[in-house]
């Protein structure tokens, strides 16, 4: 098996980025560290990865990442996965925070290609699919996470969001909750993942033979603050729910905080399940039951798909949509 830059970094006890700086004669590395790394490189007979050599030929060795919000843990962990894989190929990242704005996404696309990046990764883009298709038709290598772009021959990765929502509602029902509400983003026509979670909620209620009440579906806009207002409205209903499934963990955290202020005990009075499994979920009180998305692995896979595109390799996988399976993470907020 061919040695990688990761093997050199592990033996030297340094980061991949440090090894890369030494191999590329960059500054900011101590002399003793540089000498140690070069000794290990010679000892292991390491040569720079062939794919990385290919990437550097007439290319900038830089890729762009456009993300909705780098301050959100879910997206930050995906970016970290992209960065870790990119480091193995001596690629560098420019990360652009669109702040959930379509116009900012479009501006960043222009900015990145003005900087001659080799390719781009979109993480849950807000732009309509037709705009992304136009970028692809201009022969720019791109990868999309969050929308199935296979019909347009654009490499993409999605999670089975409908199944994740079904797992959440099934679990609440198994604990005896029968009045299950949904807080999500119900007016977002461009985000298929959000539509699929709402559809999964509806399908699961039907499967469990529970009544679908329109007043139990609230628009939390995928933010903690708006989810708090949605939860208050649900609790003021003449027939309030006994459980809530939130379309992401940010909203579930808003429900936890608001329930505490209202003197409502979770899970004794209200069951609660989120979606994403961001790190803080295990530290809340009660710890949040949620649906896991493999965030770091998503980033790694996105970067790998872009590398395939840049090198014209892996043609069978290049234009397909890879569907990842969600997992129910059981903690305390549902009564377990």
pLDDT (tens digit, 9 = 90+) per residue, 22-49?
A: 776 666 788 888 888 888 877 776 655 4
Residues 6+ apart with CB under 8 A from 247: 165, 182, 183, 184, 185, 194, 197, 198, 220, 222, 275
pLDDT score recorded for residue 168: 98
pLDDT in tens, 268-316: 999 999 999 998 999 999 999 999 999 999 999 999 999 988 876 545 4
Which residues on neighbouring strands pair with residue 244, listed in sequence order? 181, 272
- List Cα–Cα distances, 35 to 12, 15, 31, 85, in angstroms: 11, 15, 6, 25
Report domain extents, the chain: 5-47, 62-157+295-323, 161-293
The pLDDT score that the predictor gives to residue 237 is 98
> For the chain, what is the mean pLDDT?
88
How big is the chain, counted in residues? 336
- Joined tokens for residue 25: 């004669």
Identify the CATH number of the domain defined by range 161-293.
3.40.50.2300
Q: Please indicate whether the domains covering 62-157+295-323 and 161-293 agree at the CATH topology level.
A: yes
Instruction: Kindly state the DSSP code that residue 61 receives in the 8-state scheme.
Output: S
- Comparing CA positions, the residue from 234, 254, 247, 233 lying closest to residue 195 is 247
pLDDT of residue 313: 53
Band of pLDDT at residue 336, cut at 50, 70 and 90: confident
Question: What HEC string does 207-255 produce?
Answer: HCCCCCCHHHEEECCCCHHHHHHHHHHHHCCCCCCCEEEECCHHHHHHH
Those residues with Cβ within 8 angstroms of residue 99's Cβ, 6 or more apart along the chain or in another chain: 68, 69
pLDDT at 53: 47
Name which residue leads in pLDDT, 48 or 326: 326
**Which CATH superfamily, name and number, covers 5-47?**
lambda repressor-like DNA-binding domains (1.10.260.40)
Report whether pLDDT(189) > 80.
no
Record the tokens describing residue 191, joined without a space.
Answer: 């985000």
pLDDT exceeds 60 at position 216: yes
Distance CA 81, CA 87 (A): 10
> Residue 191 pLDDT > 90, yes or no?
no
Question: How many Cα atoms sit within 13 Å of 324 on the Cβ side?
Answer: 23
Write out the two tokens for 229.
């207002």
Least confident of 118-122, 263-267, 280-284, 317-321: 317-321
pLDDT for residue 250 is more than 60: yes
pLDDT tens, residue by residue, 147-175: 999 999 999 999 999 999 999 999 999 99
Averaged over 181-197, what is the pLDDT? 82
How many of the other CB atoms lie within 10 Å of CB of 163?
18
Give counts: helices (H), strands (E), the chain: 13, 12
Query: CA–CA separation, 67 vs 104, rounded Å?
Result: 10
Q: Are 149 and 129 in contact (CB under 8 A)?
A: yes
Q: Among 41-55, 57-71, 220-234, 249-263, which is the least confidently predicted range?
A: 41-55
Identify the CATH assignment for 62-157+295-323 out of 3.40.50.2300, 3.40.50.740, 3.30.200.20, 3.20.20.220. 3.40.50.2300
Q: Are 74 and 248 in contact (CB under 8 A)?
A: yes
Predicted model pTM: 0.78
120: its two tokens? 């781009």
pLDDT > 70? residue 229:
yes
CB atoms within 10 A of CB 32: 8
């Amino acid at each position: 098996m061919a040695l990688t830059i990761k093997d050199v970094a592990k033996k030297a006890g340094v980061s991949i980025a440090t090894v890369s700086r030494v191999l590329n004669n960059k500054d900011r590395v101590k002399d003793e560290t540089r000498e140690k790394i070069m000794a290990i490189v010679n000892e292991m007979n390491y040569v720079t990865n062939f794919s990385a050599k290919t990437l550097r030929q007439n290319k900038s060795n830089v890729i762009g990442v456009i993300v909705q919000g780098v301050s959100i843990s879910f997206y930050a962990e995906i970016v970290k996965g992209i960065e870790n894989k990119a480091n193995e190929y001596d690629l560098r990242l420019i990360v652009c925070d669109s702040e959930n704005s379509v116009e900012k996404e479009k501006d960043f696309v222009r900015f990145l290609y003005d900087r001659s990046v080799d390719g781009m990764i979109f993480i849950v883009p807000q732009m309509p699919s037709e705009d992304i298709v136009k970028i692809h038709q201009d022969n720019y290598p791109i990868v999309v996470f969050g929308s199935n772009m296979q019909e347009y021959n654009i490499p993409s990765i999605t999670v089975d969001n409908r199944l994740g929502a079904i797992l959440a509602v099934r679990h609440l029902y198994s604990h005896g909750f029968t009045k299950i509400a949904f807080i999500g983003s119900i007016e977002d026509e461009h985000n298929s993942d959000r539509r699929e979670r709402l559809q999964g909620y509806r399908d699961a209620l039907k499967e469990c033979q529970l009544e679908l009440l329109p007043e139990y579906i609230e628009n939390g806009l995928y933010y903690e603050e708006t989810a708090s207002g949605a939860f208050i409205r649900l609790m003021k209903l003449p027939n309030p729910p006994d459980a809530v499934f939130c379309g992401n963990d940010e909203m579930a955290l808003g429900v936890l905080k608001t329930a505490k202020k209202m003197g409502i005990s979770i899970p004794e009075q209200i069951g609660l399940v989120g979606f994403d499994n961001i790190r803080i979920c295990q530290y809340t009180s009660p710890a949040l039951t949620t649906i896991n998305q493999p965030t770091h692995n998503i980033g790694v896979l996105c970067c790998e798909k872009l590398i395939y595109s840049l090198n014209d390799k892996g043609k069978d996988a290049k234009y397909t949509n890879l569907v990842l399976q969600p997992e129910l993470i059981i903690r305390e907020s549902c009564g377990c």
